[in-house]
A and B are shown apart, each in its own frame.
Chain A
């Protein structure tokens, strides 16, 4: 039994925020349907086809964004911990690795009602990525700090604005 668990569960990622039912996990529970910024919609984990010595993990949030959903376009929320958890050892309790993302926004030019003007972006979003190797018991190490401007561009921006790769597992 342990061998089976070892074989199939050496990588198990689960997410802090909800996970059930149909649209993978879009609007899947009554309360989280009312809180789209924190609604975890999909989770993927696969060996990277172009770099098989790595695994790619993708966690999606904020369902059903209208591409033209301005004037305040969709983004990650502030004061939310977006986390990806990894269990890699059946003999340890709980998570072995945790990645935690937190986001903050700033107004570069609050005097305009434009989202972007003259190289200045309002609701500009940056993030901090932290990693824990002890099940989250102690302070997270900050691995990647906010990267300055336009890590994640706001309007129409995909969430994969960073070109860097996650640290290898």
Chain B
């Protein structure tokens, strides 16, 4: 309430545009510099996380965790690399019946100077701050770890031709040869790369920071704000049989939405509790390990969690989420700006995004309203995911929490293949009827994680149907393509995309903004306000739905192409070539 009054005041004094600009700013950088403390510790700042079935090897899943935001390729003489005394971890939950992580990968790095007599990083075949890593794996929730890669090589920075290719440098045949040489296979079968890459995230940061101007109004000068910048990636390609809780291969799945093939993935960085700055210029670190950064779903700690809570959020795991943070999903701040009854008029760039206030003439998903809670106890809910007898109060926790049925499960529980979470296709106008299945990544024993159903087939990246809109594209196809006009479980292109896992190409910013605008509700038959349920001839594909689907930030692809094979990330920009 206090917030609302403050905002009303803001509108009156004409200051709201500034606020809204900042909203989008916060939204857009996936997880770069997203919380006050971690912004001061770039080496441990987890910037992006991906999990997808490998397009060129569908018996595996590729996990990518990126760290160190906005690296300048020419950032010498001590170029960017992973930090020492940091535990970089990728966590996997694959079983709703076990507490906490089921598999943990932990990478730790160390550096040596091969020639301490020079100030150059690379000279005459020798490299200073040469970085190697140890990769460990735990399959008992972190109680014990087994080393699966020893002395793994991290390629040097892509400094320039004299350092990389020339005889006075490393004499390599090219930078990509260094990447290839650094790819290794763990003793347990995983393919691994740890090293620099192009920052794979893409968004028009410049426009967004200009008072929420995304897409930019009245101009076309949109560009990827992370273009030309590097990051450091840990890439692990894991056989699905290793990740699946019973070591099943994907061809053993009951169907392409088999719930036994759901994994939750999150990443973190931890540091030792104490750092001593010695008077001789050295640093000593000691004490127990403390988590300083984490990442599951992109943008959670930017767009959802307020600044006073961001450092707290980074310190937690999906298994001990702060209960108070649930409110930020049930009534998201961003939704205020997609609602004309609240503050929607203040952000011209969001004009196409409007939330259902009277879906099917009855259901109000505006902040502070009840959404579907009015149906609580109604026999119509019997046997659905919203029935207390099925999942308890997980999805309908109380009144005044309208987004507990869509944004909450998307971020915190995964979405089950249970009514009402099926496409409207075949529902005959009743969202509580059985429809066409399109997702099952339900794994409710943890909070914020990237959830992937590994049984879902891969959409070929060269398929004309491939779309960076992920699951939203699959939903649109399932609703509009007559080939899918049935209620069978069948593969629809892009069912393997965000938020069913996350592919490098997925435009998560656009997808999440559309989701906040209620597009998931529409997909299951809770249509936009301009659909009249009384008119049986009316198409649910209304102008408001089309407006939401057509919304774009204007930057929909990375500034440089991804690779078609491991490690998929584009090679890092070269220090002598990358500009500003």
A interface residues, Cβ below 8 angstroms from B: 20-23, 26-31, 33-34, 36-37, 64, 66, 68-72, 77, 105, 107, 110-119, 122-123, 155
Residues of A within 8 A of B2 (CB): 111
Are B307 and A23 in contact (CB-based, < 8 A)? no
Contacting A at CB under 8 A, from B7-51, are: 7, 9-10, 13, 15, 18-19, 22-23, 25-26, 29, 32-36, 39-40, 42-43
Q: Tally of A-B residue pairs with Cβ under 8 A? A: 122
B76 is an interface residue with CB less than 8 A from chain A? yes
Least CB distance, B37 to chain A, in whole angstroms = 9
Within 8 Å by CB of B308, from A64, A111, A119, lies A111
| Residues of chain B from 57 to 80 with CB closer than 8 A to chain A in the complex | 69-70, 72, 75-79
- In the complex where A28-B78, A64-B72, A113-B310 touch, is A69 in contact with B19 (Cβ < 8 A)? no
CB B115 to nearest CB in A, in angstroms, measures: 14
Q: Which of B6, B32, B77, B209 contacts A28 (CB 8 A)?
A: B77
Looking at the complex, which one of A21, A72, A110, A117 makes contact with B10 (CB distance below 8 Å)? A117
Which residue from chain B places its CB closest to the CB of A110 in the assembled complex? Answer: B308
Please tell me if B83 contacts chain A, counting CB pairs below 8 Å: yes
Compute how far the CA of A111 lies from the CA of B327 in the bound complex, rounded to whole angstroms.
Answer: 12
Contact indicator B70/A111 (Cβ below 8 Å): no
Contact status B9-A68, CB under 8 Å: no
Q: Which residue of A lies closest to B128 (CB)?
A: A30
A71 contacts B333, C-beta separation under 8 Å? no
Please state if A122 and B76 are interface contacts (CB–CB under 8 Å): no
- Which residues of B sit under 8 angstroms from A117, Cβ to Cβ? 6, 10, 15, 18-19, 22
- 4 nearest interchain CB pairs? A110-B308, A72-B39, A71-B26, A33-B78
Q: Which of B251-306 contact A (CB under 8 A)?
A: 281-283, 302-306
Q: Are A68 and B307 in contact (CB under 8 A)?
A: no
Q: In the complex, given contacts A21-B119, A27-B79, what are 19 additional A-B residue pairs having Cβ atoms less than 8 angstroms apart?
A: A21-B77, A23-B76, A30-B129, A69-B33, A69-B70, A70-B25, A71-B33, A72-B39, A110-B306, A112-B19, A112-B306, A113-B306, A113-B307, A115-B26, A117-B15, A117-B18, A117-B22, A118-B13, A123-B36
Q: Is the CB of A37 within 8 A of B40?
A: yes
A111 with B306: CB separation less than 8 A? yes
A116–B19 Cα distance when bound, in Å, is 6
Q: How far is the CA of A23 from the CA of B3 in the complex (A)?
A: 46
Chain A interface, >50% SS class = loop
CB distance from A42 to the nearest CB of B (A): 15
B22 touches A72 (CB 8 A): no
Sample 19 A-B pairs with CB under 8 A, ordered by A number: A22-B77, A26-B75, A27-B76, A34-B42, A36-B40, A66-B229, A68-B25, A68-B206, A71-B33, A72-B35, A77-B40, A113-B23, A113-B302, A115-B26, A117-B6, A117-B19, A117-B22, A118-B6, A118-B10
Nearest-neighbour CB distance to chain A for B178, whole angstroms, equals 21
B240 at the interface (CB under 8 A from A): no
Tell yes or no: B495 within 8 A of A by CB: no
Query: In the complex the two chains form, is B307's CB within 8 Å of A31's CB?
Result: no
B516 → chain A closest CB, angstroms: 14
* Chain B residues with CB under 8 A of A27: 75-79
Chain B residues whose C-beta falls within 8 Å of the C-beta of A71 in the assembled complex: 22, 25-26, 29, 33-34, 302, 307
Q: How far is the CA of A105 from the CA of B111 in the complex (A)?
A: 34
Residue of A nearest to B39 (CB): A72
Q: Are A72 and B36 in contact (CB under 8 A)?
A: yes
Q: How far is the CA of A154 from the CA of B83 in the complex (A)?
A: 28
- B350 CB to nearest A CB, Å: 15
Any A CB within 8 A of the CB of B205:
yes
| CB–CB B33/A72 < 8 A | yes
Determine if B318 is an interface residue (Cβ-Cβ < 8 Å). no
Contacts of B35 in A (CB 8 A): 72
Contact residues in B for A107 (Cβ distance below 8 Å): 307-308
A contact residues around B205 at 8 Å (CB)? 68, 70
Q: Which residues of A contact B409 (CB under 8 A)?
A: none
Instruction: Out of A66, A77, A113, A155, name the residue touching B303 (CB < 8 Å).
Output: A113
- Once A31-B281, A70-B33 are accepted as A-B contacts, the answer to whether A113 and B26 lie under 8 Å apart by CB is yes
B470 within 8 A of A: no
Which of B15, B42, B283 has a CB less than 8 Å from the CB of A119?
Answer: B15
Residue of B nearest to A33 (CB): B78
Residues of B106-155 at the interface with A, using a CB-CB cut-off of 8 Å, are 111, 119, 129
From residue A108, how far is it (CB to closest CB) to chain B in Å? 10
B10 — nearest CB in chain A belongs to which residue?
A118
B366 within 8 A of partner (CB): no
Bound Cα distance from A64 to B307, whole angstroms:
24
CB-CB < 8 A to B32: which residues of A? 69
A23 partner residues in chain B, CB cutoff 8 A: 76-77
Also in contact, A30 and B78, with CB within 8 A (given A21-B119, A115-B307): yes
Closest chain-A Cβ to B300's Cβ sits at a distance in Å of 11
Whether, in the assembled complex, B100 has its beta carbon less than 8 Å from a beta carbon of chain A, the answer is: no
With a cutoff of 8 Å between Cβ atoms, the chain A residues found around residue B83 in the complex are 34
B225 interface contact, C-beta 8 A: yes
Are B34's CB and A31's CB within 8 A?
no
Chain B residue contacts of A34, Cβ below 8 A:
42-43, 83
CA distance A145 to B333 in the complex (A): 36
Q: Give complex CA distance A64, B229 in Å.
A: 12
